[in-house]
Amino acid sequence: MASAEPIPVVLGIGGGIAAYKAAELARALVADHCRVQTVMTEAAQEFITPLTLAALTSNKVITHMFAKPGGDGVLAAAVEHIEVARSNRLLVVAPATADLLAKFAHGLAGDFLSTLYLAFEGEVVLCPAMNSAMWAHPATVENVKTLAARPRHHVIQPDEGELACGTTGPGRLPDPARIAAAVHRILHQRHDLDGETVLVTAGPTREPLDPVRFISNRSSGKMGYAIAEAAALRGARVILVSGPVQIAAPEGVELIATETAREMHDAVMARVGEASIIIKAAAVADYHVADVPAQKVKKTAMRLSLELDPTPDILAEIGRVKTDQILIGFAAETQNMVEEARRKLATKNCDMVVANLVGRDGIGFESDDNEVALVASSGDVIRLSRAPKRVLAGQILDQILNLRLTMHARTK
C-alpha cells in the first residue's frame, strides 16, 4: 500500500502565558500528519511541562542547549540544533514572545531555540503573543517588520481580546486552529496544477419527503473539501459544488451550495465545460420522492409506504459529454469495493474511481481518516493506506497527475 511519511515540523515554545495553548497546537499538527519535534525555552517550562508535549507528540522534547549529567533523556546534545535544523521542513514558534522576536531579528543565539532559528533554512512561522503595550512598542514593531521581510518567513498577526494581564487589545496568541491551518497551507503550497480548473463535488444531498423531513446519508463532505483545498494549494482554480455540510469552504475556492440531487446536477452541468479535471466525491442520493406533499405528513398507527424515483446520474452524464477532461468517480461500498469500482469505471466512462469500504470504525463517512483503493482505466489498482483525508487528498491528486501523463503518452 502507498503511504505518506509524516511531515517533520519543529514547534518552538516561548515563555509566555499562552504557552499552554501550544499543547492544542501540537495535537492539531500531529492530526495533520506532522511529526512534531518540540523545543522549549527555560521560561516556557514554567507554564507547561515538557512531559505534556512529549506525550502529545510521541517525541522527545528539547529543553536545554547542552545535555546535563544525569539528564532525563529529553535534553539536547551540543550540536543537535544543526541536526534538528536539517531534518525539519518548517519551524513554527508559538508563542513568539517579544524576547524571542528580538533575538531572531538581531541574530542573538543564547539558547537552543534561538540557535536553531539561525541554523534553520526552511519555512518559519512566527505567532506573536504578548501584552498590548509590548506589541505596540516601537522596538517590537521594528523587529516584526524585519522578520516579516525575510524570505520564507510568515508572521501570523495576534488576535485581539482579553489578555492575561487584565487589559483588552491585540496580543493574544492566534487561535491554534488558525495556526495549524496556516502551517498546512505553507507545507502543501505547490504549483503542479497551475492553469487547471478542478471541479469537485462534495457532501450528501437531501431529498425532501415533506416540508420537514428528508432522505440523506452520512457523508460529511470532508473528503471532497480536502481535495478542493489541496487542489487550490497546488495552483488550480477550484469550483466546489457542495451538498449541505458543516464545513467552511477552503480558502480560494469558489463554492456553489446545493441541497438536492437535481440542484447538484444542474450546478455541475452548468460548469462542467470549464473544468479540465472533474472529481465527483459527493454522495448523491439515488432516489427521491417525485411528488413532495405541500404539508407535513402526520404520524399515524398505519404503515407508510413511499414511491421513490431515481435521481439524475450526474457521473454518468458527465461521462457521456466529457471531451479530453479527466473524470474521477468515487465508490463508497460495503463489500467488493474493487469489483464495484471497476463496474463504475466501465459504465460511467471514468478515468479513475476512488473506492473505499464504508461502515468500518474510524474511516469513511464522518471520519477524519480514510483508506482507499484507486482503480484506473489502465486496470491498475493503487491502494492508499489509512491516513487523514487531507493527506489522502494530496495522494489522490498525485495519482491524477500521473494518470494525465500516461494518457498523454498514449496519444502521442
142: domain CATH number? 3.40.50.1950
pLDDT tens for the chain, 412 residues long, are 555 789 999 999 999 999 999 999 999 999 999 999 999 999 999 999 999 999 999 999 999 887 655 544 444 445 677 889 999 999 999 999 999 999 999 999 989 999 999 999 999 999 999 999 999 999 999 999 999 999 999 999 998 877 776 677 788 899 999 999 999 999 988 899 999 999 999 999 999 999 999 999 999 999 999 999 999 999 999 999 999 999 999 989 999 999 999 999 999 999 999 999 999 999 999 999 988 989 998 888 778 888 899 999 999 999 999 999 999 999 988 888 899 999 999 999 999 999 988 877 777 788 889 999 999 988 889 999 888 899 999 999 999 999 988 776 666 5
- Which DSSP category does 44 fall into? G
Same domain? For 237 and 140 the reply is no
In a domain, 299, yes or no: no
In a domain, 296, yes or no: no
C-alpha span between 305 and 288 (Å, rounded): 13
User: What does the pLDDT read at residue 79?
Assistant: 60
Q: Which of 214, 159, 154, 180 is nearest to 31 (CA)?
A: 180
- Which DSSP category does 125 fall into? E
In a domain, 402, yes or no: yes
User: What does the pLDDT read at residue 407?
Assistant: 74
User: What does the pLDDT read at residue 412?
Assistant: 57
Same domain? For 182 and 263 the reply is no
Same domain? For 154 and 136 the reply is yes
Give me the phi and psi of 259, to 5 degrees please: -125, -55
CATH number at residue 252: 3.40.50.10300
Same domain? For 54 and 151 the reply is yes
User: What does the pLDDT read at residue 73?
Assistant: 45
Q: Is the peptide bond before 95 cis (omega within 30 degrees of 0)?
A: yes
Give the three-state DSSP class for 387: strand
Parallel/antiparallel/unpaired status of strands 159-162 and 168-172? antiparallel
Same domain? For 118 and 201 the reply is no
Given a contact cutoff of 8 angstroms between Cβ atoms, the answer to whether 9 and 89 are in contact is yes
- Residue that finishes a domain, picked among 162, 188, 214: 188
The CA radius of gyration of the chain, in Å to the nearest whole number, is 25
Place of cell 492553469: 195
**The C-alpha cell of 142 is what?**
521594528
Same domain? For 101 and 121 the reply is yes
User: What does the pLDDT read at residue 67?
Assistant: 61
Given a contact cutoff of 8 angstroms between Cβ atoms, the answer to whether 172 and 20 are in contact is no
Instruction: Dump the DSSP string for 30-59.
Output: HHTTEEEEEEE-TTGGGTS-HHHHHHHHTS
Same domain? For 177 and 207 the reply is no
User: What does the pLDDT read at residue 169?
Assistant: 75
Give the three-state DSSP class for 341: helix
- Residue that finishes a domain, picked among 167, 188, 209: 188
Give me the phi and psi of 104, to 5 degrees please: -65, -45
Calculate the CA dihedral of residues 349, 350, 355, 359 and round it to 10 degrees: -60
In a domain, 212, yes or no: yes
Residues marked active site are found at 165
Same domain? For 64 and 168 the reply is yes
Range(s) of the domain holding residue 170: 7-188
Given a contact cutoff of 8 angstroms between Cβ atoms, the answer to whether 263 and 249 are in contact is no
C-alpha span between 264 and 153 (Å, rounded): 41
Query: Is residue 410 within a helix (H) or strand (E), and if so which, with residue range?
Result: helix 389-411
22-31 helix and 176-188 helix, angle to the nearest 10 degrees: 40
Same domain? For 233 and 181 the reply is no
Q: Read off the pTM.
A: 0.81
Opening angle at CA 173, ends 222 and 144, nearest 5: 115
Same domain? For 260 and 380 the reply is yes
C-alpha span between 353 and 219 (Å, rounded): 17
Domain count within the chain: 2
Calculate the CA dihedral of residues 6, 8, 13, 19 and round it to 10 degrees: -10
**The C-alpha cell of 257 is what?**
451550495
Same domain? For 112 and 227 the reply is no
Same domain? For 228 and 350 the reply is yes
Q: Which of 378, 373, 87, 393 is nearest to 250 (CA)?
A: 393
- Residue that finishes a domain, picked among 188, 216, 249: 188
Given a contact cutoff of 8 angstroms between Cβ atoms, the answer to whether 196 and 235 are in contact is yes
